[in-house]
Amino acid sequence: MALLIGNTQARYGWIAILLHWLIALLFIAQIALGLAMVRMTSQRSAFELIQLHKSIGFLLLGLVVLRLGWRLANVTPRLPAGTGLLERRAAPIAHFTLYALQFAPPLTGWALVSASVLEIPSMPFDLFVMPNLPVPVSDASEAWWGATHAYLAYAAVGLVAVHALAALRHHFWLGDTVLVRMISPSRRCDGDKPE
């Protein structure tokens, strides 16, 4: 079988798989960084970790834009044949919410740095200056965006945990290929048509 780039009715192609796991790894690193950077006793470490968190946030935002574009331009593999009606209805909502919670934390983080009275420029990976979003600059605005950013990040962590548990349930309990088809397109998939 040739290297599968795009999705098919049964399988995820390599682009979707790589974007999925790259974003997953960066998301976990980003959450750990976000929790650590606000607990640093060294102000220098705090400053540098916050700049790295901003850089990774902009990278994640760019990757999520690519990922959404790729998803909309591709077919989405079918759900396993045995999926019940409730799950069939819940799956698109869950996936829509997963996408929303990939966009919301980086966007609200961007708004947070834009609202800050400290006016620290954003320079992803020291490469270029990212302009600020047009939000009011004040202590109150900064506090509001900061809280919103944190709550959305916690919500994303919660939904990602549910998403991971659901994948494990599919793999170990239901015994279908929902998990393995996001690992490699060469795995045998349910609903495969003879190729």
Partner 1 sequence: MPIRNSVAATLAAIAIAIPAARAATSLSEAGGRYTISQAGSSIRFSIGKTGGGSLDGAFARFSGNIRVDNASADRSEVNITIMPASVGTGQGRIDAFLRSDAVFDAANDPEIRFRSTSVRRTGETSATITGNLTARGKTMPEKFQAELKSFRGGTITFRVTGKVLRSRYGMDVGTPIYSNVVEFDMTLSGRRG
Distance from the Cα of residue 105 to its chain's centroid = 9
Q: Pick the closer one to partner 1 by CB: 41 or 85.
A: 41
Counting every residue written for the chain, the total comes to 195
Q: Which residue, among 14, 187, 26, has the nearest Cα to 178 in the 3D structure?
A: 187
47 binds partner 1 per the rule CB under 8 A: yes
Q: Pick the closer one to partner 1 by CB: 106 or 124.
A: 124
The token duo for 141 is: 């605005």
- Shortest spacing between CB 50 and partner 1, in angstroms: 11
Distance CA 41, CA 180 (A): 42
Query: Which listed residue (48, 69, 125, 136) binds partner 1 by CB under 8 A?
Result: 48
Distance CA 82, CA 158 (A): 26
- Shortest spacing between CB 108 and partner 1, in angstroms: 20
Q: Pick the closer one to partner 1 by CB: 44 or 89.
A: 44
Q: Which amino acid is at 91?
A: A
Q: Is 130 helix (H, G, I), strand (E, B) or coil?
A: strand
- Shortest spacing between CB 186 and partner 1, in angstroms: 45
- Shortest spacing between CB 117 and partner 1, in angstroms: 7
Q: Pick the closer one to partner 1 by CB: 2 or 118.
A: 118
The token duo for 105 is: 């934390």
String marking each residue 11-30 x if it binds partner 1 according to CB under 8 A: --------------------
Of 135-194, binders to partner 1 (CB under 8 A) are none
Of 94-133, binders to partner 1 (CB under 8 A) are 117-121, 123, 126, 129, 131
Q: Which residue, among 111, 121, 109, has the nearest Cα to 141 in the 3D structure?
A: 111
Q: Please enumerate in sequence order all residues whose Cβ is within 8 A of that of 118, keeping only pairs 6 or more positions apart, or say none.
A: none
The contact set with partner 1 (CB under 8 A) reads 42-44, 47-48, 51, 117-121, 123, 126, 129, 131
